Structures are given as C-alpha cells and as structure tokens.
Chains A and B, each alone.
Chain A
Amino acid sequence: MSKRIEVNDLNVYYGKFKAVEDVSLTIEPRTVTAFIGPSGCGKSTFLRTLNRMHEVIPGAYVEGEVLIDGNDLYGPGVDPVLVRRQVGMVFQRPNPFPTMSIRDNVLAGAKLNNRRMSKGDADALVEKSLQGANLWNEVKDRLNLPGSGLSGGQQQRLCIARAIAVSPEVILMDEPCSALDPISTLAIEDLIEELKRDYTIVIVTHNMQQASRVSDRTAFFNIAGTGKPGKLIEYDDTNTIFSKPSVQATEDYVSGKFG
C-alpha cells in the first residue's frame, strides 16, 4: 500500500512569479522523506504539487511531471479529486471539521464522497484509523463529541486518522507539529515512525532535530534571495545530510550557521 514518487524538472508558478525551479527527485515507497529549508524557499509549495493542492491558490500552475508509480499527475484527463484520494495531506494547523463529531471526522472522507457503508464497516474503519493514529484509547468513549473539543495534539492525530481513513498510498505532512507542544510533537513523531510501515510519507519541517529523528532521506531547499525561485540544493540520506553534506549551504543551514 505505498507508492514511489518520481518528480522530473518541475517548475511551480504563482501567476508570473516562479516559486520553485527545476526540481527532480525520487521518493522510495515506505520511507519518510523530510523537506527542510528556510521560510519561503518553496518546500511547502512543492509539497502541495504532489497532490495538486496548489491549484486551490488562484493562478498557481506547474510545468514538468510528477509520476506516482509511473502515472503522471499532470497528464491529460487526470482528475485532481482522484489524485487526492491516493495522496493524503495533513496541514500545519489541525483542522478538524467543527460541525462534525470525532467519529464523523474520521469518516469524513468516505462520507463526504457519498459512499454508503454499513454501521459495522464504519465502526471498524473508525477504530482502525484511530488505532492507526494512536488516538483510539484517548477518544473511544467520546466518539460522538465534537472534534474541536480535543487538545491540539489530539486534533492533529485526528486529522491524521482522517487522512488514513481514505486509505491513501502517500501521506504529505506540511509542518504537522509547528502548532503543537513538545509532548504532542513526540507523539506525532512516534506515529510517523509506525506509519511508514504502510505508507510513503513526505514531511515538511523547520525543526532540524525532527528531520534527523524521523526521516530516512532529507531534501534541502534554498533560495538565492527574495523574488528568486526556490531550488532543490541537495537530496540524500538523512545521515549524510546532517553529518557530511556535499554542499556548503546545506552544512551552514543544518549546523545553524545560516544567514
């Protein structure tokens, strides 16, 4: 249940502005890949192109190709809705649907697509997803309460449960811990460790330690200055990036000498 992502010569534009230039990389199945880099270097933008969420922003478009197991996301006739069912996403700030209970939040993906399922199947899916997000024990007694009543860390794990309930192949995480306290962050990091047995995970983070703790491979993005497009500087095993990177800029950034 996981797929290989191949990106070839990808450029991302916001209208006339080129936000990301010429990125090519390959992400292996069942790995955790971390994107690091300074603010505004295009790593979140690039992440969004992996499930076409950048199209939500008016005027954004890409050139190049993104292949998931050989299928081009940007090929003719590709439905972004189907892409997003295969490539799930977790956002910076936890965003459970405020009008729905915890249970309905988990089932949201299935329910919102008007899929009918029996109560037994639904219960099983809720339990499996919440188990998968390490949240089951904390919320099993209050599945019918609003999701917005949970703590920030619990909400974020609820969002992860919601994402895996539609059984995607890939999960994208855009700074999933930046709005959380250290203990909740640890819980999410443990969860990522477990999730990688089944899913391909791509995570954007500003936290070097987090990148070195959870990821197998790390990609470093950088920009030459404001108004210039972001570029992929280096992409290698996480150990290599953090111990002996081949590019000076990478070393400066990971060792905190950046800027």
Chain B
Amino acid sequence: MTAVASGRMVNSLTTGRLPRGSVWMLLIGSWVLLGLVFLFVQLSGATKSFNLVGAIFLGTVLFDVLIFVISLLVEGVRKAKDRLVTSLVATAFIVALLPLVSLLWTVVQHGLGRMIQPSFFSMSMRNVLDGSGGVVHALYGTLEITLATTIISVPIGLMTAIYLVEYGRGPLARAITFLVDVMTGIPSIVAGLFAFALFALLTGNPGFRSGFAGAVALSVLMIPVIVRSSEEMLKLVANELREAAFALGVPKWLTVLKVVLPTALPGIMTGITLAIARVIGETAPLLIASGYSDSVNFDLFSNRMMSLPVFVYTQYANQGSIAEFFTARSWAAALTLILIVMLLNLAARLVARIFSPKLGR
C-alpha cells in the first residue's frame, strides 16, 4: 500500500508515516519557493519592493495544500485531515501575527526618528508652523484625564464589586450585574456623546469642552471593566479565610477590609492597570468631549484639552500645507502611545507576579 509497508517484517500496528522533520522541511521549502516567485516578480519590475508578507502568507497556504496531498498519499485520509487541520490552525496563528508585526514595524519605522528629536517632548503645538512642535500639551492632557478617570472609576468600580461579592443578594444585585453587562457593551463614541450632552446641559453651552468631560466619558467605559475584574478576583478569595476571620470574632466590614481585600489586592491592581491601559488609548470619546487644542491646558474643568490619541488623529486628519511634518508627528505620537500602553501591560503582569501572596518566601 505504501512505501514503508513493503518492508519484510511488517508490524500490523504501523502505517505509512511521513519521516520526522519532513513537515518542517516542507514548510521552509514552501516559503523559499514563494520567496523566489516574489523575487522574480520584483526583478521583472511589476512591484516596487520585495513583498515579504505576501511570500510568507502564500507560502504557508501552499504548505497547507501540499501537506494534505502528501499525507493523503502516504498516510491515508484520516491522518491527512489531521495534518491539514494542524497546519491550518498554525496558519491562523501566523496570519494573526502578520498584521501585528507589520503594524509595530511601521510605527517604529515612521515614528522613531521624529520621536527622538528633542522638540518632541519639550514643545507643544502652540504657534508651530514648521516641522518642529511636540506632544507636551497632549501628554499633560492624557495624564490629567487618565488620572481623573481612575480617581472616579476605581472607588465606584471596586466598591460595587465588593457589594456584588460580599453583600449582593436579591433584585438590586441582579439589576447591577445586568447593568454592568450593558455598560460593558456601550460603544466608546456613545460614552463621548453622553458626556457631551451632559456638560452641554449643565453649562448651557453646546460648545463646552473640557478634560473633565472626557474623564466622565472614559469613566463610563472604565467602571464596568474594573467591576468585572475586581469581582473575579474577590470571588477567588477562599471562603475559608472569611470564615477564619469570622471565627475570631471579627465584624464583617473589617473582615472584608483587612482580610479579603489584601488577599485579592494584586489581582485587583493588575485589573486596574489593564483598565488604564485600555482607556488611555481611547480616542473617539475624547475627540467629542474634550476637543483638541494646540496649547498646554492644566485646568481640567475649563477649555479644550489635548490628549495623545487625539493628537495622533488630528495630526493625521488635519494636515497643513506641508503634509510630511504632520504625518511624522502623528507616527511619533503613535509610537509614544504604543510604548505607554505596552509599559502599562508589562507593569500589570509584573504586579501580578511580584505581589502574589501565595509564595512562602
């Protein structure tokens, strides 16, 4: 039936099998083949540059087809299907990686040069007409707005989580659980519209924009995230610990405050950091509720306030006479934003690891 089956001592439990390592050779072979194809395309002048992404993608697809056909011939249909799915699943992963790598590469390529120029972190955009200018006003704005959002959201979110885990019974708890779910699904632009409508009504001025309005919009997005993650962490605290504290004659509120919360704290901190990382990149609500400006504004409660993601957008969308200046600033700010978000994510993982109380030492 197969090449292997023609041996003299045939074990009835063996079937045809592809030699070890042949799969990897096939994959690399497919990539090289498609690489050569694209190289020829480039040399013939059809495209300007070598298309690495296309070569890897089409090479992987070629591999998927080849492995199925070869395995079908050598190993039979069941094994062939198994191999096909294995390679398809790996392909899916590679396909997901391509945009990530491409995006990070593009941002670094376009943004790094402008970001390391001294003007970038020392200037705002006030009265800037040439290629200089920087993000100082946007950094201050992002910092203040994010801080205000955190100050609003964390107490409300955390206390609600405590209510749901430690006290919540009956219709109010069910209603809150449901509404937190609803809140999780609010599109960010709708949160921005809400903050705009709220402050337009409160101030009687439909043109009113402020950092604080942005913070309110972001809080609508952040509170449900904090409730969910804190609730999850509080539920993880073993009931035995609560019982141990009760058995010592400790009232409930002190049990929650001094036993449950400290135990869950690393997880809660991680959740808060991740929530901040998510909110700090939000653009649409700030565009609507806080507006944009070229100058530093320290006052959260009046006048427009710039933020980093809005800076990225406006520099791209409202380009002046010399477009390169604006796109360069936009990419540089994008790189800054990505770095901040990545650092926050890293910090969250570190918090989770370092402050985990389980270890004996």
- Report if A and B touch in the complex (beta carbons < 8 A): yes
Report A's interface with B, CB cutoff 8 A. Answer: 51, 53, 56, 58, 80-86, 88-89, 91, 93, 95, 97-99, 108-109, 111-114, 145-146, 148-150, 159, 162-163, 166
A109→B358 contact, CB < 8 A: no
Near A by CB (< 8 A), chain B positions 219-275 give 238-251, 254-255, 258-259, 262-263, 265
Q: Is the interface of B mostly helix, strand, loop or mixed?
A: helix
Cβ 8 A contact of B255, one of A93, A112, A145: A112
Given contacts A81-B249, A84-B249, contact A97 B169 (CB under 8 A): no
Report the Cα distance A80→B250, complex, angstroms. 10
Count contacts on B: residues with CB < 8 A to the other chain. 27
A95-B259 in contact given A85-B248, A89-B247, A149-B361 (Cβ < 8 Å): no
For the complex, give the distance between the alpha carbons of A81 and B246 in Å. 7
Q: How many A-B residue pairs have CB under 8 A?
A: 90
Query: Please, how many angstroms separate the alpha-carbon atoms of A80 and B358 in the complex?
Result: 30
Give, as a whole number of angstroms, the nearest-CB distance from A166 to chain B: 6
Do the beta carbons of A98 and B263 come within 8 Å of each other? yes
Bound-state Cα–Cα, A162 to B262, Å: 18
> Complex Cα distance A86/B240, Å?
19
Contact check, B244 vs A91: say whether CB atoms are below 8 A apart.
yes
A164 to chain B, nearest CB (A): 11
Contact assessment for A91 and B248 in the assembled complex, using a CB-CB cutoff below 8 Å = no
Residues of B within 8 A of A82 (CB): 249
Known: A93-B240, A97-B263, A98-B263. A112 touches B357 (CB 8 A): no
Known A95-B244, A97-B263, A146-B360; further 10 A-B contacts with Cβ < 8 A: A53-B246, A91-B243, A97-B245, A99-B265, A109-B250, A111-B258, A112-B245, A148-B357, A150-B360, A166-B248
Taking CB atoms, residues of chain A closer than 8 Å to B241 are 95, 97-98
The one of A58, A80, A163 that contacts B248, using a Cβ cutoff of 8 Å? A163
Contacts of A146 in B (CB 8 A): 357, 359-361
Give the residues in chain B near A53, CB-CB below 8 Å.
Answer: 243, 246-247
Which residues of A are found within 8 Å of B244, using beta-carbon distances? 91, 95, 97, 159, 162
Interface hub of A80, A99, A163 (most chain B Cβ within 10 A): A99
Given contacts A97-B263, A99-B357, contact A113 B242 (CB under 8 A): no
* Residue of B whose beta carbon sits closest to that of A114: B254
A112-B360 contact given A56-B246, A84-B246, A97-B244, CB 8 Å threshold: no
- Alpha-carbon distance A98/B242, docked complex (angstroms): 12
Chain B residues whose C-beta falls within 8 Å of the C-beta of A148 in the assembled complex:
357-360
Q: Who on chain A is nearest to B240 by CB? A: A95
